[in-house]
Structure 1
Amino acid sequence: MSVFYYELPTTGAVTFGDLLDDRTGLHTEHISSASSSRAQVRGILKETKRMGAQKDYLRVIKVMEDYLPQLGGIMDCVFAEELVPRFDPKFSWRSTLSSHLLKNSPRVEGTGFYYELCFTLLTYAYGLADLSHATVTSLGLYEQEGYVSETERKEKDEQLNFAARTLCRAGGVFKYISDSILPEWAKVNAASSKGKDRPPDLSPEVLTALPKIAMADANALAIRKLMSRAVAESIAVPGAALPKSHPAPSLLGKLWIHVHTEYATARSLLSKSSSLSSRDEVAGELRRYLERAAAHALAMAFKWFGVDAGEHERNGAAIAFLTAAKEELAELKDVKSPGAGGDSKSQRKEAMAEEIDSVSQWLRRYKVANDSVSTSPPRSPPFSHVLPTSAPSDQPTPVQITFQDVPTKAQVRATVPDGLAVLKLTPFSLPRAAFGPSSGTGARGGDGVDRDGEEYVRAGQYF
């Protein structure tokens, strides 16, 4: 699976000088700087929308990072009444997660600075996720290419790790909106922060689902990196004995179960969002992506639980798990993959076919083992039958046919353990306001710590 590709929104023009009255006479330069930064946001988003596949996401991220302290300064001064709105501030952003009755990605106008802040942070997080997507797309299926040297593979592993860590950052931004911004918005204006007029992008369910999607994508990439050396060593002989570098199959099963749970939970949240208008729903592309990603992760978990069972001579359970994995993958093989955003369709189809072949190899191996004739006493594992054959009395060890019953899919699913995460979300907090009562003088990063090492007490809460 790849990383979900988010369409970046565009936004309408805003001039803070027209919107705000500077009662102190001290913020003329600040207002001009904030307006200039906002214009750069609008410009880079329009430019990026017109570009082809080679979009400059690093530049988008930089522009959004530059604007956040400026917006923070404006909000700081507004709440301190140093700047007073001449009329209700309205900001328009294109809702890129909305599937409207009439068209996709409608332009939605919202009232208040929290609306602007939420969409600014969303766009920032989308940019981080899309940078990760672009990085992964550029790598291709490098671990399956026999001509890639060990040095090259390690370099690409590091790029994969960068993509995963970038998604952890995106997840932190998404979660910050849900956990910190929405509650603050509700205190200021309960109607606008909870009302039905908001686009799907800002509904509580969607904002709870987005960090789960980012972290599921990140953990899937982490699993791929964990497997890269073993895949490179065994790609020539699918289904053969596991190389020494191979992670424990039981561990892989737990990792994939966690990924499946995150995708499935996100999908459930999006399908039951009660905050949406009857005309709006979350874009079908994202919902289909989650359906497919959850099924793929479950298939991978079944595969590795099956291999683990087989390697411990529980062949019946191995056959049941691998059969379930093959069925899940077969259903996915010919389904259109949404959210590709530039991925090679032939590459994805090839990868799916190779995965089905790998599962088939393992399945045949354990079926043969389950039906094999043994000349040694059986271990009598669960669901086993031992059929002694007629043998001469002088034969020390009678020939025996040992096989295990194959449990049902429901029976083996009941044995699936809890999932395990490789990566954790990277916490985010707003940067220090560029100006205003709580701006101070130090410069601080997104972690809320001043460059001199002292933690900023009101990090992320200057309004």
Structure 2
Amino acid sequence: MSYNYSLPTTGAVSFADYFETTGGHSSSISDATAQRGRLRTVLKGHKKESQESRDLAGIVNAIDDYLPYLLSIINCLETKELVLRKSLETSWRSTLSDHIIHTGSNAPRIVGTDFHYELVFVLFTYAYCISLQGSEYLLAIPTHDAPDRVYNKAADAFNTAASVFLFVADQVIPKWTAPSDQRPVETIREVAVALSKMTLADAQSVAISKALFHGKLSKSLAAKLYIGVAGQYEMAYGLISARKSGQEVSSELKKYLSDGTLFYKAMAKKYLALDANDNQKMGVAVGFLRDCKADLRSVQHSSLSKPHIRKSTTVAARALKEEALVNELLQRFTMINDTAAYEEVPSRQDLQRMIPSGRSALELKQYTPPAAIFGQIKNYGGDQEQAAYARSGRYW
């Protein structure tokens, strides 16, 4: 389960128009324009493709090829190897903001100045694509011959996307100086941090599923890990909801985070119930399953436009599937408690006090941008060391 991002598109730009002098980098500037034009083309093409035929790898490769040129330009501006004649202006569609009329890929393009504005959107698009690739890997799990490899690829994709979001939050957004009330939501640090938390939680969820698939996870630990995932979703929702000025973050994203928080809390209660059953605490098991079912129903009801139509979001669809399994367990545990155990079912408040603290299954990776392709400085930020090459880590 992960958020289904809409990818942005961008307007055309010729970098040569913005430089007073290019020194010996005229050819490289032309190549940078060409690489950006290629990225613009594949993003426009993506809008016309069906979900089944979309080429996410092609977009990732185009960004991998463009990033070294973009980072080189930024470095050369800092070392005065390049001199601007006027501020760069690029336009990108803000697909994470709420719009009264336009939504998703039809959102209006927003013009921003400075190369760091460009870098924010390029890296965001990169993270979107990698996260969407992780979702595609998950779809292959039910029929795949080597599920371990697919689980690992999905978890790695989400973790990588989370690391890119956090890199943007900590290293790029602070360098773009624009009034806070004029910033697209993608350029707000709290939004980038929230996306990092959410996407790392998705990686954690995949790791939990893999461990459960192999039976290598105790039910009590599974519950704690799901509580940890819910906590990350809850913090992400809090960061996004705390914004009080400027553009509004997509209500669809906020709803996804809210539903996801409730869903993963329900999953934790399911495994707390199973653990209670293993320890002959049938009253507690029945109580947690009842709470779990109620939470799953809440997710579904909040996502249905009409109560009688089973058309819902990704979270609600998964909640519906889980509810069927929980119903079977609840019937069985209730029968055992009513005919053999005769234990009192704790109140919801008492059950809440039994819920343990959450835990994490994975550590966040560190994203290192690719090495610059021209100029004196070889990587973003001015450090000569630890520069990555294009498509670093893209081989499995």
Match of 1:336 among 286, 297, 303: 303
1:92 counterpart = 2:31: no
Aligned-partner Cα distance in 2 for 1:365–1:415:
22
1:177 alignment partner AA: V
SS in 2 for 1:254: helix
Query: TM-score, structure 2 length as denominator?
Result: 0.88
User: More helix by proportion, 1 or 2?
Assistant: 2
Deviations 1:68-93 (A, max 9, x none): 11011111111222211111211111
1:108 counterpart = 2:110: yes
The alpha carbon displacement at 1:289 in A equals 1.1
1:125-136 paired onto structure 2 within 5 Å:
125-136=127-138
Match of 1:421 among 354, 360, 363: 360
Q: Name the structure 2 match of 1:162.
A: 153
1:141-180 paired onto structure 2 within 5 Å:
142=142, 152-153=144-145, 155-180=146-171
Give the aligned CA root-mean-square deviation in angstroms: 2.7
Aligned-partner Cα distance in 1 for 2:231–2:3:
17
Query: TM-score, structure 1 length as denominator?
Result: 0.76
The alpha carbon displacement at 1:292 in A equals 1.4
1:264 counterpart = 2:234: yes
The alpha carbon displacement at 1:364 in A equals 2.9
Q: Name the structure 1 match of 2:20.
A: 21
Moved more, 359-368 or 197-206: 359-368
Aligned-partner Cα distance in 1 for 2:131–2:83:
36
CA contact (8 A) 1:292 1:337 kept: no
Match of 1:216 among 187, 192, 201: 201
Aligned-partner Cα distance in 2 for 1:298–1:349:
14
1:120 counterpart = 2:105: no
1:303 alignment partner AA: K
SS in 2 for 1:5: coil
Q: Name the structure 2 match of 1:283.
A: 250
Aligned-partner Cα distance in 1 for 2:216–2:101:
51
| CA shift in 2, pair 1:221/1:97, >3 Å | same
Aligned-partner Cα distance in 1 for 2:389–2:131:
26
Gaps of 5+ in 1: 143-147, 230-244, 339-343, 374-401, 452-463
Aligned-partner Cα distance in 2 for 1:439–1:120:
19
Match of 2:330 among 336, 352, 363: 363
The alpha carbon displacement at 1:318 in A equals 1.4
SS in 2 for 1:267: helix
Aligned-partner Cα distance in 2 for 1:109–1:210:
23
Match of 2:182 among 197, 206, 211: 197
Aligned-partner Cα distance in 2 for 1:246–1:23:
59
SS in 2 for 1:196: helix
Q: Name the structure 1 match of 2:308.
A: none
| CA shift in 2, pair 1:196/1:351, >3 Å | closer
SS in 2 for 1:171: helix
The alpha carbon displacement at 1:347 in A equals 9.5
Aligned-partner Cα distance in 1 for 2:316–2:260:
14
CA contact (8 A) 1:289 1:337 kept: no
1:49-88 paired onto structure 2 within 5 Å:
49-53=47-51, 54-88=53-87
Aligned-partner Cα distance in 2 for 1:450–1:65:
9
Aligned-partner Cα distance in 2 for 1:216–1:78:
37
Aligned-partner Cα distance in 2 for 1:282–1:195:
14
The alpha carbon displacement at 1:348 in A equals 7.8
Deviations 1:231-269 (A, max 9, x none): xxxxxxxxxxxxxx3631101101110111111111111
1:302 counterpart = 2:302: no
Deviations 1:281-305 (A, max 9, x none): 1112111111211111111101110
Match of 1:313 among 280, 284, 290: 280
CA contact (8 A) 1:206 1:273 kept: no
1:341-360 paired onto structure 2 within 5 Å:
352-360=319-327
SS in 2 for 1:413: helix
The alpha carbon displacement at 1:183 in A equals 2.8
Aligned-partner Cα distance in 2 for 1:172–1:80:
27
Aligned-pair identity in percent equals 32
Aligned-partner Cα distance in 1 for 2:22–2:6:
39
| CA shift in 2, pair 1:81/1:17, >3 Å | same
Aligned-partner Cα distance in 2 for 1:11–1:311:
56
The alpha carbon displacement at 1:55 in A equals 0.8
| CA shift in 2, pair 1:39/1:353, >3 Å | closer
Q: Name the structure 2 match of 1:7.
A: 6
1:317 alignment partner AA: V
1:107 alignment partner AA: R
Q: Name the structure 2 match of 1:391.
A: none
Q: Name the structure 1 match of 2:394.
A: none
SS in 1 for 2:377: coil
| CA shift in 2, pair 1:123/1:334, >3 Å | same
SS in 2 for 1:92: strand
| CA shift in 2, pair 1:171/1:346, >3 Å | closer
CA contact (8 A) 1:17 1:31 kept: yes
The alpha carbon displacement at 1:345 in A equals 6.5
Aligned-partner Cα distance in 2 for 1:334–1:173:
34
The alpha carbon displacement at 1:213 in A equals 1.1
Aligned-partner Cα distance in 1 for 2:386–2:322:
40
CA contact (8 A) 2:208 2:222 kept: yes
2:240 alignment partner AA: L
Aligned-partner Cα distance in 1 for 2:240–2:313:
29
Deviations 1:363-395 (A, max 9, x none): 23333333345xxxxxxxxxxxxxxxxxxxxxx
Aligned-partner Cα distance in 2 for 1:346–1:120:
27
Larger Rg: 1
CA contact (8 A) 1:157 1:228 kept: no
Which segments of structure 1 move beyond 3 Å, counting only runs of 4 or more? 333-338, 344-354, 446-451
